[in-house]
Amino acid sequence: MASKKTKTFTLGEMKDKYIGEVGTAARDEYEYELRMDVLGRMIKAARLERNLTQEELGLLVGVQKAQISKLESSANSATIDTILKVFKALKAEINFNVKLEDNFVKLI
């Protein structure tokens, strides 16, 4: 009896097929939202590590608890300024990398 081979796909191939290829608007939006979701999770993890409630963090940053909740669930509506304030209030270091083609831009 012959065995059937199962075709396997990489995550990249699945994204290309179901979301869109790299460089398309749909794929760019997906990747952006994914990064914002990860950023929100990092904010929540740092807040919990500091044993702060959302309300306490909001007071440190100067925003309402609801704003912290929104940041943690999806940071895509936040400004860079707000994100920097949040991490400063958490006494957490944050680094940004800017990559142009194959080169990283260093801030001096």
Residue scoring higher pLDDT (85 or 31): 85
pLDDT above 80 for 7:
yes
Distances (CA, A) of 50 to 9, 55, 96: 41, 13, 22
The predicted pLDDT at position 59 comes to: 96
Classified as helix, coil or strand, 100 is: strand
Model-level pTM?
Answer: 0.68
Per-domain boundaries in the chain: 11-105
Is domain 11-105 given the CATH code 1.10.260.40 in the classification?
yes
The predicted pLDDT at position 36 comes to: 81
The predicted pLDDT at position 104 comes to: 62
Q: CB 43: neighbour CB atoms within 10 A?
A: 24
The DSSP symbol for 2 reads P
The predicted pLDDT at position 18 comes to: 82
The tens digit of pLDDT for each residue in 46-76 reads: 999 999 999 999 999 999 999 999 889 886 6
The tens digit of pLDDT for each residue in 77-103 reads: 778 888 889 999 999 988 776 777 777
The one-letter code for the residue type at 104 is: F
